[in-house]
Amino acid sequence: MNNFGKLAAFVILLYVLQTSFFSLIAYHGISPDFMLLLTVSFAFLRGMEQGTLMGFSTGLLTDLATGTFFGIHAFTYLLMGNLCGRFANRIYKDQFFLPVFASLGVTALNYFILALLMVLLGYRFNPISNVQATLLPMLIYQLAFAYPVHYWTYKLDKNISSNETN
């Protein structure tokens, strides 16, 4: 399997697990967002360009597959991939601490951009109760799953890099 095939299979596997398996442990309909975690990890490992592309791809997949507001995830994940990719050459790839904890900040930033888009689309909500009901459980899930997702992305990245050098 070539590198693109491996990446596509990994993205689909994570997406299917997120929507069909981890929804079992969903709290009030909220479950971990593997697509965002993958975008963050991939961007930290591969840089700005590939991180942006990964963010756009995973976001578009989410928008197309679930029928949510079309384009919102493609938009926010692209921004998150771009942002995290800017730090790729400043951290060691073997260092897991920053990508794992950065995923918390990225989840919160992603949430606030989405909230702003919702307001611009005309939806009104109470920011405090919405943060309590949706952002806090989401952050806990992201913290719990950031390490395993980053670990597998790191393994995949190593595999891809070795194929590229050969």
Partner 1 sequence: MSNHVRKDKEDGRKGWAMAFVVVSLFCIIFFAARGRFQAPVSSQSVSLVLSPFQQGVSWISDELRHVTEAVWEMATLYEQNKMLRNEVEQLRGINLQANEALAENERLRNMIGYKQSAHQFDMVAARVIGRESDTWSRMIVIDRGTMSGIANDMPVVTPQGLVGRVVEAGLNSSKVQLILDPRSSVGTIVQRAQSRVTGIVQGDMDNPTMPQMVNIPKNADVVEGDVIVTSGFGGVYPKGIIVGLVSSLKNDAGGLLKIGVLEAAVDFQKLEDVLVITASREAPPEPIKPPQQTPGTETDPVTGEKIDDKKAEGQQ
Within 120-159, which residues bind partner 1 (CB under 8 A)?
120-121, 123-126, 129-130, 133-135, 138
Q: Which residue has the tokens 């904890």?
A: 101
Nearest to 31 by CA among 127, 137, 125: 137
Q: Tell me, what amino acid is at 130?
A: N
Interaction pattern, residues 25-54, with partner 1; x per rule: CB under 8 A: -x-xxxxxx---------------x--x--
Within 65-84, which residues bind partner 1 (CB under 8 A)?
65-75, 78-79, 82
Burial 123-158 (b: 16+ CB within 10 A, else e): eeeeeeeebebbbebbbebbeebbbebbeebbebbe
Nearest to 68 by CA among 31, 118, 108, 132: 118
Task: Record the tokens describing residue 64, joined without a space.
Answer: 């197309």
Within 8-27, which residues bind partner 1 (CB under 8 A)?
12-13, 15-24, 26
Among 38, 41, 46, 56, binds partner 1 (CB under 8 A): 56
Give the interface size with partner 1 as a residue count (CB under 8 A): 55
- What residues make contact with partner 1 under the rule CB under 8 A? 12-13, 15-24, 26, 28-33, 49, 52, 56, 61-62, 64-75, 78-79, 82, 111, 114, 117-118, 120-121, 123-126, 129-130, 133-135, 138
